[in-house]
Chains A and B, each alone.
Chain A
């Protein structure tokens, strides 16, 4: 790559950084959005405000303000143009949503005092949402006051499966009927999403 903007792929977009907004060197060595890289006046390093193209991701060349101004592509908004902060924002939002979801799950499921279940849920990101969706169906089938307990059980070979279990003091046949209903009403059409890492069951007490 020679740093000539004319050689950039046609979907690469450039814009001079507005005053006060962060500058980046490359996607891989950006230290922090709050710490502009050291450059000589009038130049920006790399793919400043470049949109998402492979060439821009790999670009680390120094380009001049004039080159940036002369770029032929329309100007993207700062949000469109800066990949790293965009992804960081997205990750932060996703993390916050995931954390909130796991906290919400505590209202519907009992969890052990150790971190096994939380760790499991963080490693299997689609399972919290599935569990949340299951709650109304569990109540329909097992009764509105029934509480399920989550247990991330380790087998002899070190593989974990998450079990959502109801402790059942009633008749065996009643809980088996409830589980059948739950399976047929909802779970069997969603079980594939859990990929064999989650199931619902009962324990007689």
Chain B
């Protein structure tokens, strides 16, 4: 049993491993893991800055609104990357047809990596929940 907090980079590493396999199930799961990597590192940053989830509404939607509606342009851009990844994750998890997923998965991994790099460079005070209208 794990005694230390999980490092979400593990999800990204798993996503990369899955992407290299031929099975569509692996590629779909890769898209999903890549998204959850992004979601969890973004959530951790937001919570450190005081982000509180309002009960009764999607945490994901609230989180990406926090990033997207930020007056800080880099933060807003992260929100856009994430919203696009979220849409691909939902397709991967729920839609029976996902054309050209073996190509798409490469773009998803690039986006997830870019998200993490940009988040790392973002000043620690962002996203700031106080700067965004609820």
Smallest CB separation, A44 vs chain B (Å): 42
On whether the beta carbons of A204 and B100 are closer than 8 Å, the reply is: yes
Q: Measured between C-beta atoms, what is the minimum distance from B14 to chain A in Å?
A: 21
Q: Which of B84-121 contact A (CB under 8 A)?
A: 84, 86-88, 90-91, 99-100, 103-104, 106-107
Selected contact of B87 from candidates A161, A188, A195, CB within 8 Å: A161
B80 within 8 A of A: yes
In chain B, what residue has the closest Cβ to A176? B107
Among A157, A165, A199, find the residue whose CB has the most chain B CB atoms closer than 10 A. Answer: A199
| Stretch of B1-9, B19-27, B41-49, B70-78 on the interface side | B70-78
Which residues in B have their C-beta under 8 angstroms from that of A196? 61, 64-69, 79, 83
Q: In the docked arrangement, what's the CA distance between A24 and B68, Å?
A: 46
A52-95 CB contacts (< 8 Å) to partner B: none
Chain A residue nearest in CB terms to B69: A195
Of A165, A183, A197, A205, which contacts B65 at CB under 8 A? A197
Identify whether the interface residues of A are mostly helix, strand, loop, or mixed.
mixed
Is A109 interfacial (CB-CB < 8 Å)?
no
Contacts of B62 in A (CB 8 A): 159
Q: Assuming A153-B87, A155-B86, A204-B104, is B70 touching A161 (CB within 8 A)? A: no
Contacts of A187 in B (CB 8 A): 80
**Are B69 and A205 closer than 8 Å at their CB atoms?**
no
- Say whether A120 faces chain B, with CB atoms less than 8 Å apart: no
Interface check B16, CB cutoff 8 A = no
Q: How far is the CB of A51 from chain B (nearest CB, A)?
A: 31
Whether B68 and A192, one on each chain, are in contact in the complex, defined by CB atoms closer than 8 angstroms, is yes
A172 on the B face (CB < 8 A):
yes
Interface pairs (9), CB distance under 8 Å: A159-B60, A176-B107, A188-B77, A195-B68, A196-B64, A197-B65, A201-B83, A203-B91, A204-B99
